[in-house]
Amino acid sequence: MLKTILGTMIALYLFIFWLGYPIGDLIFPGGGVAESYLKPIYMGIVVLGGLIVACTCHIAKRIEGLKSDKEANE
């Protein structure tokens, strides 16, 4: 599960900062200081992506546990 969470966070980081900035510069030329204030927001998106994956994995494990408990009781 930890590999999945870290993989998601690294993939989002690479997509946002390495791929997103060059594409954004092509689409919206200019930039400057105003874009530097967005970096904490982008890092928040990376952390939220990791949290979403962590919660989804946790819920999936719980559902599998409930299924196995139900099958054991039948």
Higher pLDDT, 25 or 17: 17
- In which domain, by residue range, is 39 found? 2-73
Instruction: Supply the Cα-derived Rg of the chain in whole angstroms.
Output: 19
Answer yes or no: are the C-beta atoms of 52 and 4 closer than 8 Å: no
pLDDT value for 31: 66
Q: Give tens-digit pLDDT for 26-66.
A: 777 776 666 677 778 888 888 999 999 999 999 999 999 99
pLDDT category, 69, cuts 50, 70, 90? confident
Domain count, the chain: 1
Question: What is the residue-wise DSSP string for 4-17?
Answer: HHHHHHHHHHIIII
